[in-house]
Amino acid sequence: MQEESKQKSQEELLFQACQKGSLDECKKLLSMGVDVNARDRNGSSALFHCCHPQQLKLVRFLLSMGLNPNLTNIRGNTALHLASERGYKEIILILILYGADPYIYNLNGHRCDDLNPQIRPLIAGIFRDKSAYGLLNDFHKKKLTQIFEDMDSDDLGFIDANKSFKFNRFVEEISEDIARRDSEEFLKEVSICKDGQVNLEEWLFSFGKLIREAGNDTPVDHFIEDYEKGIKEKGKFIDFKPRD
């Protein structure tokens, strides 16, 4: 009984850490053995307590640690129901890429897109193409994530026009005008959640689609090679300043 009480207390600390957005506290609690799939008295998992675009890193961490995105609360809602109702596109994207099922009905007979019909096309499109995300192997995910983090040196969680422009000049000897044009085209093509910004999931998703279109992962290998060549020739990306 005492052990069960201790377990519940630690699980409550996990939910509180999620509400505060404390990634470090969540990591510590999980390292102590707290079940990542624990649910509160309402049946809500930790995802329900950090289901907000500002907590994308925390959501990403919990999912990577094995949190089941399809757990339902006492009303039959999944985290995807909550994110859809609130229109949190970034959360919708990452949940579906990590296996969330948009066709789960809650106790009122509603799917997630029934709660916000405006985002129905978004959900359908992500779910249709999500298999492309799985085409990335662990090596490519690790390398591409590192490149993204190098580009996102201010740790805002997204790539914008300026970061993309700098990257284009870093990997290619091209004019400023061409680099700007390519940057705009990249953002327009890859951005899903917010115009003019690309987050990590959108970034990785785009390379999965590239592999699917090419029928192999050669384009991704070339992309990584070009970036590493830029580092050898120009030094660290963060220190690079494009010349006029």
pLDDT in tens, 112-147: 999 999 999 999 999 999 999 999 999 999 999 999
Confidence of residue 216 (pLDDT cuts 50, 70, 90): very high
- pTM comes to 0.93
Phi, psi dihedrals of residue 107, rounded to the nearest 5°: -70, -15
73 has a pLDDT exceeding 60: yes
Domains of the chain plus CATH, in order, are: 2-134 (1.25.40.20), 136-239 (1.10.238.10)
Length of the chain: 244
Kindly give, in sequence order, each residue whose CB lies less than 8 Å from that of residue 127, ignoring residues fewer than 6 positions away.
Answer: 96, 102
Whether the Cβ atoms of residue 99 and residue 67 lie closer than 8 Å to each other: no
pLDDT number for residue 219:
96
Across 86-122, b (16+ Cβ under 10 Å) vs e yields bebbbbbbbbbbbebebebebeeebbbbebbeebeeb
Rounded to whole angstroms, the Cα distance separating 189 from 183 reads: 10
* pLDDT tens sequence across 75-123: 999 999 999 999 999 999 999 999 999 999 999 999 999 999 999 999 9
Q: How many Cβ atoms sit within 10 Å of the Cβ of residue 80? A: 26
* pLDDT tens sequence across 157-211: 999 999 999 999 999 989 999 999 999 999 999 999 999 999 999 999 999 999 9
Confidence of residue 2 (pLDDT cuts 50, 70, 90): low
Rounded to whole angstroms, the Cα distance separating 153 from 156 reads: 8
Whether the Cβ atoms of residue 15 and residue 49 lie closer than 8 Å to each other: yes
pLDDT number for residue 31:
96
26 has a pLDDT exceeding 80: yes
Helices (H), 21-159: 23-31, 56-64, 79-86, 89-97, 120-129, 138-151
